[in-house]
Amino acid sequence: MNKILLVIQREYLTRIQKKSFWIASLLGPILITAIYAVPIWLATQDKEVKRIEILDESGLFQTTDLMDKEVEFKLVNKPVSDLKGSFSKEGYTAFVHLPKDLLTHSKDIKIYSEKNLSLPLKSSIERVIEKKVRAILMKDAGIASEVYEKTQIEVSSETITVSEKGDETSSSSGGAMILAGVMGMLLYITLLLYGSQVMNGVIEEKSSRIIEVIISSIKPYQLMLGKILGVGMVGLTQFLLWIVLTIGLSQVASTFYAASPVKQKVEQIKKVDPEVAKKMDDASPMAEVTKVIESTNIPLVVGGFLFYFLFGYLLYSSLFAAIGSAVESTAEAQQFTFIVMLPIILAFIMAQFTMQDPDSTMAFWASMIPFTSPINMMVRLPYGVPMWELATSMTLLVVGFLGCSWVSARIYRVGILMYGKKITVKEMAKWLFYKG
């Protein structure tokens, strides 16, 4: 046991002292934050509040009728010819000419701009005008605006989970799908990343002949297990760094968004109209996150993630270690790594269907088979999984790991000292039954 601990210590300290470890640990959160923060930041910079002048010859509009979260309107009273030459010089994006007979000729509205208007801005202008014109026409027809508002039904549903005891909790289908997708993607990347690191480490030691010295004082199985656990601890350390740094960078990025003109305009509209404010709050990402946290068994999901990460990593890393022991170079290992990567890729593809229907027959079996269960069970967990299915899946994964580690150890003990011979799958199959 002490020898295994020494190998774990050596693998862990050697890897975290490398510059590449710290570069990857620091660049990872920066890239993750940049992937979503930069597009949002650029969008908010581009989506500065647009200023529009309105020449209202119909006399129907008041300043209070012209409210929009992304557009600032100003009523003016100048000749059309003067406005055509002055609006852009005064910093306005466009000016709108409303004719005298707007109620009967609503299609005669003209919008003048220096260059082509974007479709969202054109729609925002038309929506504001349309709302006022409709209200006036209904009033003229003797229909109260309250009656019209009551007919504008907006169908939306709230999803609620009910426990066996009858407790009800608001849930979010979209949020659960996002959470499932993120965890499935994380496991997919880590299984490939750290499994490959184990294989490359074995190849490096074998090609430099250091392995011959090490193997004289420790059993091959102990060496393989120590190497796998050591790299696994490096992976957990890097995970923790990524989580802490990503949360910190996300907080910094959110302060830039809070200071954007669009955000300030939204806050102004919320103060004016409490009903709109409630709708915006209900539709905000934070509201969805709150629903997911309230409706999801977070301790179970976190515990499940750690379990499936650990045993999924152990299962695949033992296979990668066996491949690394059988070859003498990374190029030679490529023909075998595809065999191990195939079930990981298959599991990721199956996870796309599992997200859409987590209770289907395919999702059930994908979360039971040890080679696909680490990714697919984590995709199912946010939706809720019966405990007997979770226990069965975990048991099968542990059994699968023990079986794969036995096979890998048999290959490892022979392959680690095998040089100068072209290795085939058939040759490795023979090593399983070598005695001694």
If one compares 164 and 73, the residue with the highest pLDDT of the two is 73
Please say if the pLDDT value at position 180 is more than 80.
no
User: What is each CA distance from 20 to 23, 25, 233, 245, 317, in whole angstroms?
Assistant: 5, 8, 16, 17, 20
Give me the mean pLDDT over the 165-179 stretch: 67
Contact 217, 311 (CB under 8 A): no
Average pLDDT over residues 206-222: 76
> Which residue would you say has higher pLDDT here, 249 or 74?
74
Q: What is the pLDDT of residue 288?
A: 60
For residue 429, the model assigns a pLDDT of: 80
Q: Which residue has the higher pLDDT, 44 or 229?
A: 229
Q: Is 290 exposed, middle or buried (0-12, 13-18, 19+ CB in 10 A)?
A: middle
**Which pLDDT value is given to residue 201?**
80
C-beta atoms surrounding 11 within 10 Å:
22
Residues 6+ apart with CB under 8 A from 171: 159, 160, 161, 291, 292, 294, 295
Give the model's pLDDT for residue 46. 56
Average pLDDT of 203-217?
A: 76
For the cut 70, the answer to whether the pLDDT of residue 268 exceeds it is no
**Helix/strand/coil for 3:** helix
Output the pLDDT for position 394: 94
pLDDT for position 270: 57
Ramachandran sector of residue 384 (left: φ over 0; alpha: ψ -120 to 50; beta: rest): left
Flag whether pLDDT at 38 surpasses 60. Answer: yes
For 229, half-sphere exposure in the C-beta direction (CA atoms, 13 angstrom radius) is 16
pLDDT at 272: 58
Cα–Cα distance for residue pair 389/246, rounded to 1 Å? 33
- Report whether pLDDT(51) > 90: no
Whole-prediction pTM? 0.64
Compute the mean pLDDT over every residue in the chain, rounded to the nearest whole number.
79
- At residue 368, the pLDDT reads 93
Residue ranges of the alpha helices (H) in 273-386? Answer: 274-283, 285-295, 298-326, 330-356, 361-366, 373-380
From CA 368, how far away is CA 374, in angstroms rounded? 9
Helix%, strand%, coil% for the chain, nearest 5: 70, 5, 25
Q: How far is CA 57 from the centre of its chain?
A: 51
Please state the φ and ψ torsions of residue 383, each to the nearest 5 degrees: -85, -15
CB atoms < 10 A from the CB of 18, how many?
11
Asked if 87 contacts 53 with a C-beta cutoff of 8 angstroms, the reply is yes
Higher local confidence (pLDDT), 400 or 282: 400
Please give the radius of gyration of the chain, using alpha carbons only, rounded to the nearest integer: 31
| pLDDT of res. 393 | 93
The answer, yes or no, to whether residue 231 has pLDDT greater than 80, is yes
Alpha-carbon gap, residue 373 to 369, rounded angstroms: 6
Return the pLDDT at 115: 80
pLDDT value at position 395?
Answer: 94
At 293 the pLDDT is: 64
> Which band of pLDDT confidence, cut at 50, 70 and 90, is reported for residue 398?
very high
Give the side-chain half-sphere CA count within 13 A for 60: 21
SS3 171: strand
Per-residue pLDDT, 202: 81
Query: What is the pLDDT confidence band of residue 71, given thresholds at 50, 70 and 90?
Result: confident
Q: What is the pLDDT of residue 400?
A: 92
Alpha carbon distance 93, 329 (integer Å): 63
Q: Which pLDDT value is given to residue 84?
A: 83
Q: How confident is the model at residue 170 (pLDDT cuts 50, 70, 90)?
A: low
Average pLDDT over residues 40-56: 73
Residues 134-159, mean pLDDT to the nearest whole number: 74
Assign 397 a pLDDT band (cuts: 50, 70, 90).
Answer: very high
Half-sphere exposure of residue 278, counting CA atoms within 13 Å on the CB side?
3
Q: What is the dihedral of CA 63, 67, 72, 73, to 10 degrees?
A: -40
Cα angle 4, 10, 14; round to 5: 155
Please give the full DSSP string across 225-271, using - where no structure is assigned.
Answer: HHHHHHHHHHHHHHHHHHHHHHHHHHHHHHHHHHTSHHHHHHHHHHH
Q: What is the rounded distance in angstroms from the CA atom of residue 365 to the CA atom of residue 378?
A: 13
pLDDT digits (tens, 9 = 90+) for 342-368: 888 898 888 888 888 888 889 899 999
Residue 174 has a pLDDT of 67
What's the pLDDT at 271? Answer: 61
117-127 pLDDT, tens digit per residue, is 788 788 888 88
Which is it for the CA torsion 150, 156, 162, 168, positive or negative?
negative
Mean pLDDT check: name the lowest of 95-104, 269-278, 366-375, 399-408.
Answer: 269-278
Beta pairing partners, 5: none
Task: Determine the average pLDDT of the residues in 191-200.
Answer: 82
